[in-house]
Amino acid sequence: MQLTGSEIVIECLKEHGIDTVFGYPGGTILNIYDELYKHSHEITHILTSHEQGAAHAADGYARATGKVGVCFATSGPGATNLVTGIATAYMDSVPLVAITANVAVPLLGRDSFQEIDIAGVTMPITKHNFIVKDVEKLADTIRRAFVIAKTGRPGPVLVDITKDVTANKAEYTKKEPSIPKRSTSKILDSDIETAVELIKSARRPYIFVGGGAVISEADKELKEFVYKINAPVADTLMGKGAFDGEDLLYTGMLGMHGTKTSNLGVTECDLLITVGARFSDRVVGNPKMFARKAKVLQIDVDPAEINKNILTYSSIIGDIREVLQRLNDRLEQLEHKEWIDRIVELKNKYPLHYKPSKLCGPEIVEKIYEITEGDAIISTEVGQHQMWSAQFFRYKKPRTLITSGGLGTMGYGLGASIGAKLGMKDKLVVNIAGDGCFRMNMNEIATATRYNIPIIQVVINNHVLGMVRQWQTLFYGKRYSNTVLNDKVDFVKLAEAMGAVGIRVTTIDEFEDAFRKAIDLKTPVVIDCQIDEEDKVWPMVAPGAAISETFTAEDLEKKEEN
């Protein structure tokens, strides 16, 4: 049947089971929005306060559900406002399809009103992108975009459609969506056998888990693998929840703000089994000193990650879940009692702790964990609160921490929490922010109230850019250049002005009361938590240092005394 380009866009979304789209209309995309209006009973559109919020919401939806997130924007500034969100998704391998519109084909290249080469702009930060100038190619292009976004290592795909294509007609025939297959073609039996022999011969194996294990939905296979090997487990920020944070074999995060147990344990291990992690600089520290006693076995779906940051002894390329299944089939039960005893000794000697003289970030995160019993989706912004959320909330299931790891996007979490809540309506969703991050996209509270999306926004408010200030304290002689936010902004009044409930707290008892009230209200709530500007994230590894050189506040005090 003959359909307009706009009708084809909507039908292709329906083919792929898309029920929620985030976006903001404008001139060149009006044809698509007009068609979307006719299908509002099938596809819910969330009008965000800003296009960046739409991209982050689509990203949060994708991370929480495992589905492809979709966002819309018009040409020019509408399209460029998506860029930070697209880059965030790219760095963390999130399946996203961004659909933008552009000026009509005759106007391209003429500096027309709101014309921008968004395909050129986003080329380095998308898995692939398209500009559609022929309506006959539109349906197949959109279908390809969804396949590319989900195949292998996921990522964002941009489809830019000229306005005349959205109005022109072409023949459309409905097709069943192509379901991407798990990447198994590069899993070699010889690599599996080598890995099995390495694992069997290791006396001090350590398992290091990254976001690839979450993306692959390999948590069951990972648990079996861990128990068969009888090895301790550390994770990255993106790997949270792939292995149960309450398990006795779990030792916490690795790297700059990882636990002393994980950092020292990986330094002592003789085999580091890396499952879907890319060895970022924040994890590795000094690469020449990283896991120097260990042979590194890296398992990853993306061959480009092998030997990119850390040289491996051996590797297996392929879907994480499939690789772990094959390894589990060939491994017999192993025991490493002496090694586990050593790790337990480190855990007992170096637990995560804090000494609150008044309300502080770790205490807030622990209280959220206690009240929810860990059954919540936590989204975060970026900074000290993000690290406290990683350290003191024990993620028991995958897709329960929604955070910007690779790009470190301040302003990400609020939009992402909206997307996560819409994707997982039965889950409690809490966005934890610092005051600096919250300022960036706090206008999305208006989005939450417009649709009565009952997110809980916790602002850990120290009136400074906390993580930057922490570096200034430790490495820049306490020269606090442009990191003090001690102004007259009132987040409670702002929340109320946007239609949300605002509550300010200064003690842990007040926070508990406010948080329980927020759960009961089932409406957007902003809790402004006043903490001390001197609070810091511990432990820490100085940039460029070996992760074995992790230190705490107590270590600094001893050093200064000497």
Candidates 38, 113, 246, 558; catalytic one:
113
Range in 66-75, 189-198, 351-360, 442-451 the model is least confident about: 351-360
Average pLDDT over residues 149-159: 97
Give the model's confidence band at 257: pLDDT under 50 very low, under 70 low, under 90 confident, else very high: very high
- What does the block give as tokens for 461? 């408010």
Please determine whether the domains at 2-171 and 189-349 fall in the same fold group of CATH.
yes
Spell out the domain ranges in the chain: 2-171, 189-349, 361-537
Could you tell me the strand order of the sheet in which 205-209 lies? 250-253, 233-235, 205-209, 271-275, 295-300, 314-317
End-to-end CA distance of the chain: 82
Average pLDDT of span 402-426: 98
What is the percent of the chain where pLDDT is above 90? 96
Q: Is the pLDDT of residue 562 over 80?
A: no
Q: Is 114 a catalytic residue?
A: yes
Residue 332 among the catalytic residues: no
279 is catalytic: no
Selected catalytic residue, list 127, 163, 347, 396: 163
Specify the CATH number for 361-537; select among 3.40.50.970, 1.10.3720.10, 3.40.50.12280, 3.40.960.10: 3.40.50.970
**Catalytic pick among 256, 440, 442, 467:** 467
pLDDT in tens, 304-363: 999 999 999 999 999 999 999 999 999 999 999 999 999 999 999 999 999 888 999 999
Instruction: Identify whether 163 is a catalytic site residue.
Output: yes
Distance CA 397, CA 420 (A): 15
Asked if residue 275 lies in contact with residue 212, where contact means CB atoms within 8 angstroms, the answer is yes
Q: Which residues of 426-456 are buried (b: 16+ CB within 10 A; e: fewer)?
A: ebbbbbbbbbbbbbbbbbbbbbbbbeebbbb
Burial of 397 (0-12, 13-18, 19+ CB in 10 A): middle
Contacts of 510 (CB under 8 A, 6+ apart): none
| pTM of the full structure | 0.97
* Spatial distance between the Cα atoms of 59 and 52, rounded to a whole number of angstroms: 11
- The domain defined by 2-171 carries CATH number 3.30.1300.10: no
Chain segment 460-498, per-residue pLDDT in tens: 999 999 999 999 999 999 999 999 998 899 999 999 999
pLDDT category at 558 given cuts 50, 70, 90 is confident
Q: What is the mean pLDDT of the chain?
A: 97
Catalytic status, residue 367: no
Q: How far apart are CA 135 and CA 167, in angstroms?
A: 9
What mean pLDDT is predicted for residues 224-245? Answer: 98
Note the pLDDT of residue 179.
Answer: 85
Annotated catalytic residue within 67, 114, 217, 289: 114
Digit-coded pLDDT (tens) for 507-524: 999 999 999 999 999 999
Q: From CA 98, how far away is CA 96, in angstroms rounded?
A: 6
As assigned by CATH, the class of the 189-349 domain is: alpha beta
